[in-house]
Amino acid sequence: MTIPNLPSLWAMQPEALTALADTLNQGPDARGPGRSEEQQAPLYTVEDGLAVIPVQGAMSKHGLQFFGWRLLFSMREIAAALKEVAADTSVRAIMLDVDSPGGTVDGIEELALAVRTAAAAKPLYAWADGLMASAAYWMASGARRIAAPATAQVGSIGVISMHREFSKALEGAGVRYTILAAGHYKAAGNAVEPLSDEMRAYLQEGIDAVYELFLSAVEQGRGVSREKTLAMADGKIFIAGEALKAGLIDRICSREEFIKQIKQEWTMNLAELRAQHPELEQELRAELEKDRAPALENARAEGAKEEQARLIGLACAVLGDAAETLKTVVQSGVTVEQIRALQPLMQPAAKAGTAQPADPDPYRKDALDALGKAAAAPADVAPDQPAGDDFMALVNAKISEGKSKGQAMHEVARDNPEAHAVWLKNVQKESK
């Protein structure tokens, strides 16, 4: 019988790792810590908006099936479930339902990242349903809150590697192995020769490096200092009361109470939020204002455009043919001051012996033409610019091409700003 090769580095309770190795050595009739294919639970369930993801048993990156018996649960399947519930619009919050001694180092950082990503999308909690040890705690440390019943065991933060040596047994059986390798450390930790001090130190370096990653994950996930992290990460397993004092968990309660608390948190109203978490309310308001500012600015701009279009439409209905000149004035951005400077030009000659204009239509046309002439006037005009006669010559040329006077003046002012500026300055002088 071929026994599957186990990974070399584990974040797992030592006794659970030993039991797993013994199960594999005993063969297919052994019934260790696993489930048959028929007993496998779904990746998650959803009830009243809460997605519950079971994490039960030892874990490895891809899982391990042995003669139809699941000995290791797949970290990647758990990560896939996290990704799915994070995208599920019916899910309001996520709870990891954990009963696990840990698992392999390979794959746990990927799973921990999946937890942090899901927690950024939706509130994520973890429940220690009996045992939350080593890699299982590494994963759960990214949760918003961790709770456990009074009898639960939590902790065992550390990294372990199991080295088994069979040189004496092989010698007694008359079997002799010769290791052939290129690279001084290539055969470090092999099972057919004793482990030297040098090779032990080399393997310990790798274990220490992974342990540092574990500490960083707990430090970041629990929001505690390195000093406090080291106090809870010496490999000990804690009963729930001790785990609470050490800062490993946040609450001791029943599973039903914890789920009730989770649901209460996502239905908290504004008054409760303001009373219990004033700093969070301020942060949320600031974030909303930040997101709303561009939308308000766009709304104001759109409103201004709509109002301008409405006013132009009303003017068109009143002014008829002269509306084109008005459009030119509005679109050019002419200022109120410029229009006021031209007001004297907008008064037509009166009929002899009366105070009435000679002709209402010429009055309206002269006024609108004067506005059109002011449409693109610059704020400042240099005193040494050329005479403005050229401007009207260009305007007349445009009119001879069939353009209206307002349109002609707009195009010439746009293409010949200097001539237009001098012409406008002369008009303003004449009006004084």
User: Of 134, 141, 156, 332, which one is the catalytic site residue?
Assistant: 134
**Burial class, 245, CB count within 10 angstroms (exposed 0-12 / middle 13-18 / buried 19+):** exposed
Q: What is the mean pLDDT of residues 200-221?
A: 88
Distances (CA, A) of 406 to 42, 121, 299, 374, 394: 75, 58, 32, 11, 13
Cα–Cα distance between 214 and 297 in angstroms, integer? 47
Q: What is the mean pLDDT of residues 154-171?
A: 80
User: Is the pTM value of this prediction over 0.75?
Assistant: no
At residue 284, the pLDDT reads: 64
Q: What is the mean pLDDT of residues 213-227?
A: 90
Instruction: Give the DSSP H or E segment for 206.
Output: helix 197-222
Cα–Cα distance between 75 and 55 in angstroms, integer? 9
Cα–Cα distance between 398 and 425 in angstroms, integer? 22
Cα–Cα distance between 390 and 383 in angstroms, integer? 16
Which of the pair, 382 or 234, is modelled with greater confidence? 234
User: Of 36, 186, 196, 245, which one is the catalytic site residue?
Assistant: 186
Tokens standing for residue 234: 């010496």
At residue 33, the pLDDT reads: 46
- Would you place residue 247 in the very low, low, confident or very high pLDDT band (cuts 50, 70, 90)? very high
What pLDDT, in 10s, does the model give residues 350-384?
Answer: 444 555 554 444 544 555 555 555 444 444 444 44
Mean pLDDT over the full length of the chain: 76
The 8-class DSSP code of residue 342 comes to: T
- Exposed e or buried b for every residue in 138-172, given b needs 16+ CB within 10 A? bbbbbbbbbbbbeebbbbbbbbbbbeeeeeeeeee
The CATH 3.90.226.10 domain(s) of the chain lie at: 10-163+200-267
CATH superfamily, region 10-163+200-267 = 2-enoyl-CoA Hydratase; Chain A, domain 1 (3.90.226.10)
What pLDDT, in 10s, does the model give residues 25-79?
Answer: 665 444 444 444 445 567 899 999 999 999 988 898 887 776 666 678 899 999 9
At residue 329, the pLDDT reads: 65
Res. 91: pLDDT tops 50: yes
Nearest Cα to Cα of residue 149 among 72, 255, 236, 23: 255
Active site (annotated) includes residue 60: no
What pLDDT, in 10s, does the model give residues 180-209?
Answer: 778 887 778 777 788 888 888 888 888 888
Which of 49-53, 71-75, 336-340, 407-411 is least confident? 336-340
Active site (annotated) includes residue 134: yes
Res. 124: pLDDT tops 50: yes
